[in-house]
Amino acid sequence: MNTIKTFFIATLLFSSASAFAENKFQVIDRGIDGDQRQYLITCTDGTRGSVTKHFELPIVDTDPDKIEKKGQSAGISVPPKLIKVCIELDNGDEQCRPSWELDTAAKASCAL
């Protein structure tokens, strides 16, 4: 009888811990799609949100003659410029700011 009681209590504690672990705040990088980097947000209450960073990509000249004339300078990469950071609202619209830290935007998406 004691073994069954111990097993039941251990199972109950383990399932409670698993349920608690599932509802933690997470920011998951979904990757780049064109000029956007998308993040999936899991809020502590189990709801989900999203954050999208929009970039201006540098124009790359692919003309072989121009690249050859530039020599080694053609190999310099220019980082993309951040244009805005947006969170998706419940109605499908976006709320954007020109500069928004990822963690702050993620928490704002959970507060909606």
Percentage of residues in the chain with pLDDT exceeding 70? Answer: 64
* Selected residue with higher pLDDT from 108 and 70: 108
Extended beta strands in 43-80, E state: 48-56
Which residue's structure tokens are 């111990």? 6
User: CA-to-CA distance for 54 and 101, rounded, in angstroms?
Assistant: 13
Residue 97 domain-assigned (yes or no): yes
Write the DSSP symbol of residue 92.
S
Residue 18 domain-assigned (yes or no): no
Residues near 97 by Cβ (< 8 Å), separated by ≥ 6? 84, 85, 86, 105
Residue 10 domain-assigned (yes or no): no
pLDDT for the residue 76 = 56
Number of domains comprising the chain: 1
> How confident is the model over 31-52, as pLDDT tens digits?
999 999 999 999 999 999 999 9
Residue 47 domain-assigned (yes or no): yes
Structural domain boundaries enclosing 104: 24-110
Residue 44 domain-assigned (yes or no): yes
Single-letter amino acid, residue 64: P
**Over 90: is that where the pLDDT of 58 sits?**
no
Residue 2 domain-assigned (yes or no): no
Residue 13 domain-assigned (yes or no): no
